Amino acid sequence: MKQLFPYYPIHIFPFCRYNKPMTILDVKNLNLGFNCENGFKQALYNVSFSLDKGKMFALVGESGCGKTISAMSILQLLPKTAKITGGEIIYDGKNILNCTRKEMQKIRGAKIALIPQDPMTSLNPLYTVGDQLLEVLKIHQNLEGKEAFNKAVDAFEMVQIPCPKIRLKSYPHEFSGGMKQRAIIAMALCCNAEILIADEPTTALDVTIQAQIMNILKKIKEQMKTAILLITHDLALVGENADEVSVMYAGRIIENAPANEFFQTPNHPYSIALLNALPSNKNKLLETIQGHPPSIHQIIHGCKFHPRCNYCMDICKQEVPQMFIIEQKHHSACFLNK
């Protein structure tokens, strides 16, 4: 199969002139690391993906694989020890990695909004939810008074919070976990953000509330044509909601495919192992992946998955596999495809 190097997501190339999705954000060959006590440690390696208008893109993998730090690079909300050493993040025709802090403040929240991982600690307990929502409208939309209040009410209605005029006067402790998450989504909606980054948006919520939150995100995607980056380790959520999937392992994207194709014909051994670990109704024992994901301090030559891979070959221990074309929009970084 033809090898791709450097790798860019296939849909940014003009294979088809019709029904081409509108790419709203491009992450190209992003490299990032951390200044540690024992030197600089690489965490992301040539991470590339793109977000299309009105589509949900899922970034999946085990904890510590680099999903959240990739998203935080877009928002430039990185720890002081983090350093981006290469790549571009193209939004609105420019590389936002070159934006000043003031320029990023105009983008962050207004154009690219974050739904954080923990709704329980994302709202200030000393202020009403309405006050916090109105502050967002004042900063990003320059709205105050009745106009701002009406827009806040509309946002609460969009995310299905009952009695919105009353609930805007409530404090965060008066909201359930699911309602807090909806309120945070409402803050992103009221600024008409073009991109939503949903970082584990259903963590600590029960299954029923999870479904409600994901239905709200799907509604936003379809009605407002918002691009959504879904960061999750829950493949069941991905299968039901995402349009495209990229799998990360040890700081690299190792498979990228349309969601339906990924679940029907996964290619990379790691992807296959993840899917085999999902519960099924076939009354079979759950399969597990041997070993643990490597930390950034571990030195592993070649493919970083090879110590855990049942298909490991000699070349896997010596060289890092690049992306190979499986289908037109399906790529996998595995020497089995060579």
Tens digits of residue pLDDT in 145-165: 899 999 999 989 988 899 999
Minimal CA–CA distance to 21: which of 258, 262, 232? 258
pLDDT range class, residue 282, cuts 50, 70, 90: low
Structure tokens at 69: 């730090």
pLDDT given at position 11? 39
Percent of the chain with pLDDT over 70: 92
Tens digits of residue pLDDT in 191-210: 888 999 999 888 778 888 88
Residue 165: CB atoms within 10 Å: 13
> For the ranges 141-155, 268-282, 308-322, which has the lowest average pLDDT?
268-282
Asked if pLDDT for residue 331 goes beyond 90, the answer is yes
What does the pLDDT average to over 25-47?
95
Structure tokens at 44: 């992301």
Cβ proximity of 133 and 155 under 8 Å: yes
Residue 312: CB atoms within 10 Å: 16
What does the pLDDT average to over 56-60?
96
In one letter, which amino acid is 129? V
**Phi and psi torsions of 304, nearest 5°:** -70, -15
* Dihedral sign of CA atoms 264, 269, 271, 273 in order: positive
What does the pLDDT average to over 212-234?
91
In one letter, which amino acid is 186? A
Name the DSSP class of 10. Answer: G
Cβ proximity of 292 and 253 under 8 Å: no
pLDDT range class, residue 122, cuts 50, 70, 90: confident
Average pLDDT score over the chain: 88
CA 306/CA 304 separation, integer angstroms: 6
Asked if pLDDT for residue 22 goes beyond 70, the answer is yes
CA 255/CA 219 separation, integer angstroms: 27
Residue 299: CB atoms within 10 Å: 8
Minimal CA–CA distance to 228: which of 203, 204, 197? 197
Angle at 43 between CA 335 and CA 12, to 5 degrees: 60
Percent of the chain with pLDDT over 90: 59
pLDDT given at position 202? 84
**Phi and psi torsions of 335, nearest 5°:** -70, -15
pLDDT range class, residue 20, cuts 50, 70, 90: low
Q: Would you list the DSSP string of 199-230? A: ESTTTT--HHHHHHHHHHHHHHHHHH--EEEE
Asked if pLDDT for residue 50 goes beyond 90, the answer is yes
Reduce the secondary structure of 284-323 to three states and give it as a string: CCCCCCCCCCCCCCCCCCCCCCHHHCCCCCHHHHCCCCCE
Asked if pLDDT for residue 228 goes beyond 80, the answer is yes
Full-model pTM:
0.88
CA 254/CA 28 separation, integer angstroms: 15
Asked if pLDDT for residue 1 goes beyond 60, the answer is no
Rounded (to 5) percent helix, strand, coil in the chain: 35, 25, 40
